[in-house]
Amino acid sequence: MKEWILSPVEKACLRWISRGMTVAEIATLEGKSVAIIENCLQSALVALKAKSIEEALQKADLGQSD
């Protein structure tokens, strides 16, 4: 399996998304602004060379919630 390099915050954001959280909910949980969470998700898409959050979750192997 390909090893993707994501920051801890990018991984956390994708993990929260995989659990059905909204960007606003993630921002509250992480103590960051909505804009920062949106930027983290966009950075994760770029790092994973994904065109959508769904594709990013699959590539990061986070498509299934725990």
* Domain annotation for the chain: domains and CATH numbers: 8-59 (1.10.10.10)
Which pLDDT belongs to residue 60? 86
The enclosing H or E element of 40 equals helix 34-48
For the full predicted model, state whether its pTM sits above 0.75. Answer: yes
Cα 12 off chain centre by = 6
10-residue mean pLDDT profile of the chain (66 residues): values are 77 96 97 97 95 93 58
Residue 44: closest CA among 32, 8, 24: 8
